[in-house]
């Protein structure tokens, strides 16, 4: 439907669930949008964590291990907590190697995952960052660990708040553990939705070189990873070195069939057919067809002038009095002065939609280098003292190319180049120029035919107005569409662990300790070139003809007041009406290099994030019960976080034209914690009680800024028989506001907002443009609230364009309170004991996470709606600032505590394995299937009147009711064949947001206007926007040889080249009609190869 009358569905909610709203604010240009979320390979059933018989390194002679989800050492890999283990080597069977791809592909990852397709947006961690969001509750509520220890945030610009997965050495990861319940009592703050623990390889001896490469069938997007490891193991320790190098080539929009060309209309008719051809402007204004492209998307090559509105560059012709410029339509009539039945000009000829889209990045260029050095050594003695260390250096370089945006400065009336300055170089009186259009015989007859009189008859002639300001709207090559980012992170862990034989007193025994200090520091730099608004304004406001050199122009400050610029500030006269800038539907440039050199500057940012942690933990047996030893642990942790994110003046003050400003962030805090855990074996080897184990943990947290808080967890595992495990957990979590939420200075972006105080297009008189109250369908509350806030809803108009771009600011808030949450899980795991011919494990977990006082960044549209649609005065009205023209120019959408958020669902896991003999050869066959059924992902907002607004996103994009990953394998000796399927269930926008079926004339008065259908009454059909997607299946296949020396393999990702769904961008957050970050593959069929050798 036409977006002049409606705000996109995804903009209207308080926030996009699971995604920082800053990620949805465009920074004027839109380069690339959509990394794939693909099939994973998992090596275990959920509750009973078993090592795979495949390529996962086998563990032998294990005495005591620590499993993610507990800090206690035990002699089994079983976990009371809901835990998934992903084998990194097995993930390569489906073509995945990057940590972000692997983690974002899991069933537990819901909502909108931030991947490389978001590189052109204002992100929490800056351009090119990738994060993981478990349960759709946001990356800030997912704790990321590396080797069981907290991984520090990294990024650039603003205030990074989450670890950047692109900095993790993909080739050095052995496995990924996903703990899927609240775990604050075990791991501390942030573990609200769960924990992602990446465990690096250690068990290697000698030199190993591995290369992994992907080659898309469609153009560009090659990825290459080279991993070199060397290690030496001996009885008392090991030492290891790892080098991981990764590079990926960019993918442009035109490189993929689903994003090439332009953004299109996409509507479905009553007849079930899909319609895309633009009909609104062809039927109502007589314009040429657009091939389905949005006709009014980012129009350039025009000038906004008094009375007429926008006039379009038509060299050598005009239908008014503006040399080389032509008006498109007036009074709802497409101007046709040559009588050929087609309007003199059509919007499609001036739209950037498609013309400069093709070369913009869908996926950016990226290069990454990781170097890791680690080891440990155990000294002789009863204490087995073992010092250990880890060092990791990571560097990421990302280059992003977006689309050039619009440049639309206001040119003062007396500027000598101004089109509407009759005293200027090529200027005219724009009042008289407009009258020439109104008195044009052909157009006057069009008006007479429609309204029964000519413009002159209605008294619409303007007459001379003299010099008047005008606004050229153009696009300039290289303006604000290139971003270069470099991130470096250094991480060091040094620790000492050992035994405590002196603690063997009475019933106490087998006590050990582990203490370490970790240090992380990241440095990020970003640079973006663009046009300086202050320099452009200086030139436009001060340019005059040089009185000493007629025909030459000068500009700049006039400090001595003689009326002549001093010439000391390097000002260069800029001609915003030079023909080189007016490329219909394309990108132009300034007439001279001197103008570019004067106007262009770089927007530079430097961000440092520092984190240090001291941790000490003691664990051992307290006493023995009949069922076994009672294991306990106690520990303490001190964490210090500091951010120093410093913009240059261009970034801080928003000096690039119409580009977001960013004040950065500076702040720090200490967090001190005490915690304890105990595991009690209550029953063992009894009738109907093979095992009954309870696990209890608690943590006390003292935050420097927020006082103290306590969290707890209780878990119980009951095994009535060996084959059946019943499990339940309950716990609380705590998340204090992070440094971003506390210390982020004003960071702005631009987004479209629907303004209810503007007169609706339908209530404007087509001739006079005046307000007709009888046609106004707005509620009395809206009219009253607009008037109360100084925005007269009966006079304020934007010519029917009531949705327009507004600057929206985000900022930290030190008055926030902590988030608290409750988490519950209930589940079982059953291993069939009846048949020896095959193994079958079935597991299921029900989860429920409930968060109170959740910290949100409200959308700009939410602030507007809450202010003007309420029956009382909203507290958010003070966050809205209007300009002198009455339009909203600034929205303050900083962090607030407001909502309750809930995530509920069921994880189902099935693992079947059997050895089948064919041709007298034994083949190991397995099926590993994982399903997630989402029951609830809701946000409950309570307004100032105490009224609750409940929004459940289940069944919407990113929150499909069902998702699954299934892998079928056949193994013979060192050979393995894999076929995997990823499934995303059908989705649709919320029912209340679905448009009514209508036509381009809104014949039935639905309040919606179709873009593509002329209606049943006119021999066609009625249509509405496509805001849904059918079931989605993606298939992957591979064949591997994994020998003692060589590893050779390859396969195909997305075997059938399954395309992502196509939607209307007015309903679903999408790039060129393609939803991003919600589970669909945007790379297409891709071949991958791996070659490795051990020396």
Pair 713, 615: CB distance under 8 Å: no
Quick check: is 439 in a domain? Answer: yes
Band (38; pLDDT cuts 50, 70, 90):
very low
Q: Are residues 321 and 456 in the same domain?
A: yes
Mean local confidence (pLDDT), 27-49: 32
**pLDDT the model gives residue 244:** 94
Q: Are residues 451 and 588 in the same domain?
A: no
Quick check: is 56 in a domain? Answer: no
- The dihedral built from the CA positions of residue 45, 47, 51 and 56, taken in this order, carries a sign that is positive
Quick check: is 337 in a domain? Answer: yes
**pLDDT the model gives residue 289:** 82
Pair 176, 201: CB distance under 8 Å: no
> How many domains does one find in the chain?
2
What per-residue string of b and e applies to 906-931 under the rule 16 or more CB within 10 Å gives b? Answer: ebbbbbbbeeeeeeeeebbbbebbbb
The percent of residues above 70 in pLDDT, for the chain, comes to: 93
Residue 517 has pLDDT above 80, yes or no: yes
Mean local confidence (pLDDT), 173-193: 88
Pair 727, 830: CB distance under 8 Å: no
Quick check: is 436 in a domain? Answer: yes
**pLDDT the model gives residue 65:** 60
**pLDDT the model gives residue 1:** 59
Mean local confidence (pLDDT), 1064-1090: 94
| Alpha carbons 722 and 158: distance in angstroms, whole number | 53
Q: Are residues 555 and 467 in the same domain?
A: no
| Alpha carbons 902 and 370: distance in angstroms, whole number | 38
| Alpha carbons 835 and 369: distance in angstroms, whole number | 50
Q: Is 177 left (phi over 0), alpha (psi -120 to 50) or beta?
A: beta
Pair 637, 613: CB distance under 8 Å: yes
Residue 175 has pLDDT above 60, yes or no: yes
Q: What is the pLDDT of residues 146-165, one digit of tens each?
A: 999 999 999 999 899 999 99
Mean local confidence (pLDDT), 555-577: 92
Q: What is the pLDDT of residues 77-107, one digit of tens each?
A: 567 788 888 999 889 999 999 999 999 999 8
Quick check: is 346 in a domain? Answer: yes
The percent of residues above 90 in pLDDT, for the chain, comes to: 71
Q: Are residues 452 and 537 in the same domain?
A: no
Pair 969, 923: CB distance under 8 Å: no
Residue 672 has φ and ψ, to the nearest 5°, of -120, 135
Which of the listed residues 604, 632, 667 is the one where a domain comes to its end? 604
**pLDDT the model gives residue 367:** 96
- The edge-to-edge listing of strands for the beta sheet with 880-882 is 747-754, 803-810, 888-892, 880-882
**pLDDT the model gives residue 746:** 81
Quick check: is 598 in a domain? Answer: yes
Band (633; pLDDT cuts 50, 70, 90):
very high
**pLDDT the model gives residue 45:** 33
Residue 37 has pLDDT above 70, yes or no: no
- Where is mean pLDDT largest: 5-19, 353-367, 959-973, 991-1005? 959-973
| Alpha carbons 957 and 697: distance in angstroms, whole number | 37
**pLDDT the model gives residue 604:** 96
pTM confidence score: 0.88
**pLDDT the model gives residue 78:** 60
Considering only 267-281, 661-675, 715-729, 745-759, which range has the smallest mean pLDDT? 745-759
Chain-wide mean pLDDT for the chain?
Answer: 89
| Alpha carbons 69 and 187: distance in angstroms, whole number | 8
**pLDDT the model gives residue 671:** 96
Residue 46 has pLDDT above 50, yes or no: no
DSSP β-bridge partners for residue 926: 913, 969
Residues 6 or more apart in contact with residue 548 via CB below 8 angstroms: none
Q: What is the pLDDT of residues 232-254, one digit of tens each?
A: 988 899 999 999 999 999 999 99
Pair 914, 839: CB distance under 8 Å: yes
Q: What is the pLDDT of residues 386-419, one digit of tens each?
A: 999 999 999 999 999 998 889 999 999 999 999 9
Quick check: is 570 in a domain? Answer: yes
Q: Could you list the residue range(s) of the whole structural domain that residue 562 is in?
A: 531-604
Residue 17 has pLDDT above 60, yes or no: no
Beta strands in 206-266 (DSSP E): 206-216, 223-234, 237-248, 251-252
Q: Within 13 Å of residue 785, how many CA atoms lie on the same side as its CB? A: 24
Q: Are residues 314 and 415 in the same domain?
A: yes
**pLDDT the model gives residue 650:** 95
| Alpha carbons 109 and 417: distance in angstroms, whole number | 56
DSSP β-bridge partners for residue 977: 970, 1039
| Three-class DSSP category at 1058 | coil
Q: Are residues 345 and 415 in the same domain?
A: yes
Q: Are residues 413 and 343 in the same domain?
A: yes
DSSP β-bridge partners for residue 724: 721, 830
| Alpha carbons 401 and 29: distance in angstroms, whole number | 9
How is residue 887 written in tokens? 């339009």
Mean local confidence (pLDDT), 662-671: 94
What per-residue string of b and e applies to 330-356 under the rule 16 or more CB within 10 Å gives b? Answer: bbebbbbbeeeeebbbbbbbbbbbbbb
DSSP notation for 757-799: TSPPGGGB-TTT--B-GGG----HHHHHHHHHTT--TTT---T
Q: How far is CA 716 from CA 76, 526, 726, 957, in A?
A: 16, 49, 8, 35
> Could you tell me which residue, 1007 or 508, shows the higher pLDDT?
508
Q: Are residues 312 and 457 in the same domain?
A: yes
**pLDDT the model gives residue 342:** 93
Band (826; pLDDT cuts 50, 70, 90):
very high
Which of the listed residues 450, 474, 498 is the one where a domain comes to its end? 474
Residue 131 has φ and ψ, to the nearest 5°, of -135, 175
**pLDDT the model gives residue 873:** 76
Which of the listed residues 588, 604, 620 is the one where a domain comes to its end? 604
Beta strands in 402-508 (DSSP E): 471-473, 482-499
Residue 28 has pLDDT above 60, yes or no: no
| Alpha carbons 949 and 875: distance in angstroms, whole number | 16
Q: What is the pLDDT of residues 742-788, one digit of tens each?
A: 999 988 888 889 999 999 887 888 777 788 898 888 899 999 999 99
Band (18; pLDDT cuts 50, 70, 90):
very low
Quick check: is 449 in a domain? Answer: yes
| Alpha carbons 524 and 485: distance in angstroms, whole number | 7
Pair 983, 964: CB distance under 8 Å: yes
**pLDDT the model gives residue 775:** 85
**pLDDT the model gives residue 2:** 52
């Amino acid at each position: 439907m036409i977006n002049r009358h409606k705000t996109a569905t995804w903009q209207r909610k308080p926030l996009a669930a699971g995604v920082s709203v800053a990620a949805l604010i465009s920074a004027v240009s839109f380069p690339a949008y959509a990394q794939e979320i693909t099939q994973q390979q998992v090596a275990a059933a959920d509750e009973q964590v078993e090592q795979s018989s495949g390529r996962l390194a086998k563990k032998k002679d294990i005495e005591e291990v620590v499993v993610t989800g507990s800090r206690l050492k035990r002699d089994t890999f079983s976990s009371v907590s809901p835990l998934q283990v992903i084998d990194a080597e097995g993930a390569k069977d489906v073509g995945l190697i990057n940590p972000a791809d692997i983690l974002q592909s899991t069933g537990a990852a819901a909502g909108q995952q931030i991947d490389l397709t978001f590189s052109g947006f204002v992100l929490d961690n800056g351009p090119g960052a990738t994060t993981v969001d478990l349960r759709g509750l946001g990356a800030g509520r997912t704790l990321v660990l590396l080797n069981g220890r907290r991984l520090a945030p990294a990024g650039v610009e603003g205030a990074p708040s989450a670890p950047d997965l692109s900095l993790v050495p993909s080739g050095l990861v052995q496995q990924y553990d996903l703990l899927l319940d609240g775990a604050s009592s075990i791991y501390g703050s942030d573990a609200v939705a769960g924990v992602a623990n990446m465990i690096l390889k250690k068990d290697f001896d000698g030199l190993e070189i591995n290369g992994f490469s992907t080659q898309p069938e469609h153009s560009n997007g090659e990825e290459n990873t080279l991993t070199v490891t060397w290690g030496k193991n001996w009885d008392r320790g090991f030492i290891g070195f790892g080098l991981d190098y990764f590079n990926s080539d960019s993918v442009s929009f035109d490189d993929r069939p689903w994003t090439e060309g332009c953004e299109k209309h996409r509507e479905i008719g009553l007849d079930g057919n899909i319609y895309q051809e633009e009909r609104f402007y062809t039927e109502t204004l007589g314009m040429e067809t657009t091939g389905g492209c949005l006709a009014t998307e980012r129009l350039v090559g025009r000038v906004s002038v008094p009375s007429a509105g926008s006039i379009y560059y038509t060299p050598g012709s005009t239908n008014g009095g503006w040399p080389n410029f032509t008006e498109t339509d007036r009074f709802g009539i497409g101007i046709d002065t040559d009588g050929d039945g087609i309007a003199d000009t059509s919007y499609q000829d001036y739209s950037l939609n498609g013309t400069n889209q093709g070369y913009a990045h869908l996926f950016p260029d990226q290069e990454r280098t990781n170097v890791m050095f680690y080891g440990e050594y155990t000294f002789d003695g009863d204490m087995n003292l073992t010092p250990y260390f880890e060092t990791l250096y990571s560097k990421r370089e990302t280059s992003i190319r977006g689309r050039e945006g619009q440049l639309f400065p206001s040119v003062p009336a007396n500027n000598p180049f101004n089109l509407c300055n009759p005293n200027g170089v090529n200027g005219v009186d724009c009042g008289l120029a407009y009258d020439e259009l109104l008195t044009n015989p052909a157009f006057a007859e069009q008006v007479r035919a429609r309204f029964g009189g000519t413009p002159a008859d209605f008294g619409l002639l303007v007459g001379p107005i003299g010099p008047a300001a005008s606004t050229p709207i153009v696009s300039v090559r290289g303006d604000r569409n290139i971003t270069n980012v470099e991130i470096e992170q250094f991480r060091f862990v040094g620790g000492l662990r050992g035994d405590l034989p002196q603690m063997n007193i009475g019933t106490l025994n087998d006590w050990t300790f582990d203490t370490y200090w970790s240090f992380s520091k990241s440095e990020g730099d970003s640079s973006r070139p663009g046009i300086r608004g202050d320099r452009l304004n200086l030139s436009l406001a001060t340019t005059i003809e040089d009185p000493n050199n007629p025909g030459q122009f000068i500009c700049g400050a006039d400090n001595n007041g003689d009326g002549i610029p001093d010439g000391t500030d390097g000002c260069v006269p800029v001609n915003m009406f030079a023909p080189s800038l007016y490329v219909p539907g394309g990108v132009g440039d300034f007439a001279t290099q001197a103008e570019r050199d004067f106007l262009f500057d770089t927007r530079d940012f430097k961000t440092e994030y520092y984190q240090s942690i001291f941790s000490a933990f003691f664990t051992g047996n307290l006493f023995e019960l009949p069922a076994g030893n009672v294991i306990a642990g106690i520990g303490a942790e001190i964490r210090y976080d500091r951010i120093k994110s410093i913009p240059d003046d261009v970034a801080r003050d928003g000096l690039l034209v119409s580009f977001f400003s960013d004040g950065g962030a500076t702040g720090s805090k200490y967090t001190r914690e005490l915690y304890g855990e105990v595991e009690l074996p209550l029953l063992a080897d009894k009738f109907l009680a093979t095992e009954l184990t309870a696990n209890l943990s608690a943590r006390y947290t003292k935050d420097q800024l927020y006082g103290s808080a306590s969290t707890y967890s209780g878990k119980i595992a009951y095994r009535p028989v060996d084959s059946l495990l019943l499990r339940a957990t309950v716990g609380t979590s705590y998340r204090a506001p992070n440094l971003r939420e506390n210390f982020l200075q004003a960071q702005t972006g631009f987004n479209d907002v629907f303004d209810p105080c503007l007169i609706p297009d339908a209530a404007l008189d087509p001739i006079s443009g005046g307000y007709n109250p009888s046609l106004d369908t707005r509620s009395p509350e809206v009219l009253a609230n607009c008037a109360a806030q100084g925005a007269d809803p009966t006079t304020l108009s934007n010519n029917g364009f009531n949705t327009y771009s507004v600057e929206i600011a985000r900022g930290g808030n030190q008055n926030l309170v902590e988030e608290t949450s409750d988490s519950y899980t209930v589940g079982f795991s059953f291993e069939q004991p009846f048949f020896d011919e095959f193994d079958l494990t079935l597991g299921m977990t029900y989860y429920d996470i409930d968060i109170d006082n959740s910290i949100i960044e409200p959308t700009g549209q939410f602030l507007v709606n809450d202010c003007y649609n309420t029956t009382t005065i909203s507290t958010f009205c003070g966050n809205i600032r209007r300009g002198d023209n009455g339009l909203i120019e600034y929205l303050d959408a900083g962090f607030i505590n407001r909502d309750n958020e809930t995530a509920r669902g069921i994880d189902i896991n099935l693992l079947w394995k059997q050895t089948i003999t064919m041709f007298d050869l034994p083949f190991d066959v397995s099926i590993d299937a994982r399903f997630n059924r989402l029951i609830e992902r809701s946000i409950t907002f309570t307004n100032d009147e105490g009224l609750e607004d409940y929004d459940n996103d289940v069944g919407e994009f990113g929150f499909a009711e069902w998702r699954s990953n299934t892998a079928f394998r056949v193994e013979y000796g060192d050979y393995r064949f894999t076929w995997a399927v990823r499934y995303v269930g059908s989705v649709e926008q919320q029912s209340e947001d679905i448009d009514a079926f209508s036509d381009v004339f809104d014949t039935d008065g639905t309040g919606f206007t179709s873009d593509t259908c002329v209606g049943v009454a006119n021999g066609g059909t009625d249509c509405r926007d496509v805001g849904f997607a059918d079931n989605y299946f993606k298939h992957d296949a591979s064949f591997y040889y994994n020998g003692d020396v060589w590893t050779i393999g390859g396969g195909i990702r997305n075997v059938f080249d399954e395309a992502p769904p196509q939607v209307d961008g007015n309903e679903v957050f999408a790039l060129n009609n393609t939803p991003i970050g919600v589970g669909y593959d945007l790379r297409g069929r891709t071949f991958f190869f791996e070659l490795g050798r051990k020396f």
